[in-house]
Structure 1
Amino acid sequence: MNIYLDLEGEIDPLIAGLKGSPDKVSKATKRALGKLAKFAERNVLREVSRQVGVTAKLIKELGRVRATLKKATNRDTGEYELVVWLGIFDIPAHKLGTPRQTRAGVRTGKHFWQGAFLFQPVNAPKAMVFKRAANWKHRQQRSRKSGRLMWIGLPIEKQSLPIYQQAETALANMEPLLLERFSTLLQQELNYAFNIESR
């Protein structure tokens, strides 16, 4: 999921009277954009964390938020674009905290998975949280470890936390804030370039 911000509408009024100093304007704009990318990434992380109910640290470790800047290829969209990318795949339950089995299910951090159990697939480094599907039945399956036939309730489904709706809300909430922040940053950088840096 991406949001694209057309920044030309924010730039034009601020640099309208500064056309005679393109180098200063260019440097100021570049610095403002760099600061905006860091601001965007940090604040989108916080907003997604708040909406989803998991730590910003976890979302960052999973690489779910990235902000990049680029010159727009389509003239109709403006000269500059800020692209905020947000990964919206469900977060696996075992990533949400140390899984703890209880009689009623599995707890991972603040989340509880009713009727779930811990199971470590052969190709997995640690146990994950699974739950039997609604249409499960006892079936015979050969163990990959021992080779023995076992009766297992199948199918089972890996449990995960859906974040699409929360992510969509988070990005919608952040868009006006990012535009406002860019206008502030550009004013600051233009002031620095013309009144302080040039001294």
Structure 2
Amino acid sequence: MSGLLKVELDTHQFFDLLHALPPSAMQAAWRRTLRKTSTWVKAQVAKTVAQDTRVPQKVLRQRLYFFLHSRDSGKVWLGLNPLQAHRLGKSRQTRRGVSVGRHRFAGAWTMAQRAPTGPVFQRTGKARYPITEVKLDWDDPGEAAFRKVAAQVEARLLVVLRQEVNYELHKALGRIGRHGTR
């Protein structure tokens, strides 16, 4: 990744919405909000990158992780290392090389006898050796998609937080309605 991408949000405005709820309900709503927002971020990044690079979303989602750092902060991690060609789909040997999913690699081959679903190789020079494993670079579209989605995170966080606060309020009102008191 060319530069560190860090999104910081002012959480005071979010916690002001949760003032009427007990602390445990506030915490539960905030944790669910972080988890659901991270799931949304992962889906949006995978969708955007898949459109740009023709890489299956399933493969990209394996490169996206969410970590809950503390009670009120989380982190979405995106691995931008090149993708191994054989992970893009089923590889097929053709006369001109190897076709994997929607990608074509001229002059490449697989070791069909030893590992039919294994790596795709290509010569790096004119001699018999050296050979390298074929990989697909996707760091530029991946970083661009991540930045695009990061710009929309705060708005999405507010939408999900409202839903979660509403859920906690209804849950609390249901308890009050049934028992007359808390």
Q: TM-score, normalised by structure 2?
A: 0.78
Give structure 1 stretches of 5+ with no counterpart: 72-78, 138-152
1:41 is matched with which residue?
A: 42
The Cα RMSD (Å) is 2.6
Cα distance in structure 2, aligned partners of 1:45 and 1:69? 20
CA contact (8 A) 2:45 2:142 kept: no
Identical amino acids, percent of aligned pairs = 28
1:105 paired to 2:93: no
Cα distance in structure 1, aligned partners of 2:90 and 2:166? 50
Cα distance in structure 2, aligned partners of 1:92 and 1:17? 46
1:92 paired to 2:67: no
CA deviations on 1:75-113 (whole Å, 9 max, x unpaired) are xxxx83331111112111122222222222211111011
Q: TM-score, normalised by structure 1?
A: 0.72
Which is richer in helix? 2
Cα distance in structure 2, aligned partners of 1:6 and 1:110? 37
1:154 paired to 2:154: no
- Number of aligned residue pairs: give it: 170
Among 100, 111, 115, the alignment partner of 2:107 is 115
2:13 is matched with which residue?
A: 13
Larger radius of gyration: 1
CA contact (8 A) 2:30 2:72 kept: no
Which is richer in strand? 1
1:174 is matched with which residue?
A: 149
What are the residue-to-residue correspondences of 1:71-86 with 2, within 5 Å?
A: 71=70, 80-86=72-78
CA contact (8 A) 2:34 2:73 kept: no
Structure 2: which amino acid aligns with 1:15? F
CA deviations on 1:128-156 (whole Å, 9 max, x unpaired) are 3222113x32xxxxxxxxxxxxxxx1111
Change (3 A) 1:4 1:14: same
